[in-house]
Structure 1
Amino acid sequence: MEAAAAAGQSVVKPTLAKGKPSASFRLRNGSLNAVRLRRVFDLFDRNGDGEITVDELAQALDALGLEADRASLAATVGAYVPDGAAGLRFEDFDALHRALGDAFFGSVADDDHHNAGKAEDNDEEMREAFKVFDVDGDGFISAVELQEVLKKLGMPEASSMANVKEMICNVDRDSDGRVDFGEFKCMMQGITVWGA
């Protein structure tokens, strides 16, 4: 936000349409957050040109059931789109994500100061992320639930149940055909190590 303000661009402070955002919006683990943010960017960049336009962003939010007000979205995103660009590049998307996180939750420095060393905070964030996939709330992610979320995100893996089941098998340590929270947590920690 400061960079946009320094460049003389107007910055629209985000507002919440429905309730408070999930704490998993910004994970405190930097490497996990960077990997996740890159994946989100790639999902939103529907045509793969390295930029996310307001239309691409609005379509992705609409697909997730988060009805986007295009005028507000354009005003907020526009402050981060560089002159001459059609949309947000990854660096711009990262800056927007950080600004939104700071606006909703306070700065990362504040978070680190207040929450340093608290494993239960990471656990809570993992639980929030798990709930996104555990659609029926039974404590497990089934192949059908995973496929449903992947479809909403427009991922090609969602077109084949065999691909979805293979994704489940890759993390299903007890071979019950579904992912419990412990397996999900191990998978996410593996991404953290890989992304570090």
Structure 2
Amino acid sequence: MEVAACKRSLSRRASSSSFRLRSPSLNSVRLRRVFDIFDKNHDGMITVQEIHHALARLGLETDLCHLESTIESFINPANIGLTYDGFVALHQSLDQTFFGLDLEEEDESDLTEAFKVFDEDGDGFISAQELQAVLWKLGLPEGKEIGRVEQMICSVDQNHDGRVDFFEFKHMMQSVLVRTS
């Protein structure tokens, strides 16, 4: 049933899904949503602790000192955290570093680690249920609606099997990010 729904969904939206994933204005909206999710106290800034907490909820253990040293150059000295503009600059820097035009082996390794966050059962695929669980952990409203999650899966499911494999995930990651070059 999931595969049939995916095929129907894709046939209706095939021409728009590519635009949706590559549209800089929509990526900007998505980036703003991520910022707002990380900004738990809604003060217009994301502290290193808020980022650390969000990563921990995803099961990504980070060294707080290392995270702070990575982010501190994007924080205005007069602020206690990243403003939205600083967050965008950080995102662009990470985009350039990890998702440049040529993926190096170490970048592929980073993508593999990111994929594993979503592939909770380790079967090599991201199912709608696994994506929903991660979205739920992040506190995203999509985590409550399996139908919306299935649409998200369908938007990147190139072989129409109702789940996302590593190559589809890699293609999605390369397509979604706003190029900085």
Provide the TM-score with structure 2 as the length reference.
0.58
The amino acid of 1:43's aligned partner reads I
Runs of 4+ off more than 4 Å: 34-40, 65-70, 75-81, 91-98
Give the CA RMSD over aligned residues: 4.1
Match 1:154 to one of 139, 150, 156? 139
Q: Which residues of structure 2 form unaligned runs of 5+? A: 1-26
Report deviation, 1:121. 3.2
Higher relative contact order (Cα pairs below 8 Å, separated by 6+ residues): 2
Larger radius of gyration: 1
Amino acid at match of 1:89: T
Q: Does the 8 Å contact 1:43/1:154 carry over to 2?
A: yes
Alignment of 1:1-196 (within 5 A): 40-53=34-47, 56-57=50-51, 59-65=53-59, 80=75, 82-83=77-78, 85=79, 87-92=81-86, 119-192=104-177, 195-196=178-179
- Deviation of 1:40 after TM superposition, in Å, equals 4.8
Count of aligned positions: 147
Q: 1:43, 1:189 → 2: CA distance?
A: 22
SS at match of 2:150: helix
Gaps of 5+ in 1: 1-33, 102-107
Offset at 1:56? 3.9
**Alpha-carbon distance in 1 for matches of 2:104, 2:122:** 23
Instruction: Name the CA distance, whole Å, in 2 between partners of 1:46 and 1:82.
Output: 21
The whole-number CA distance in structure 2 between the counterparts of 1:119 and 1:62 is 27
Deviation by residue 1:13-53 (Cα, 9 ceiling, x = unmatched): xxxxxxxxxxxxxxxxxxxxx98986653431135442124
Deviation for aligned residue 1:97: 8.8
Deviation at 1:155, TM superposition (A): 1.2
Structure with the higher helix share, 1 or 2: 2
Provide the identity percentage. Answer: 51
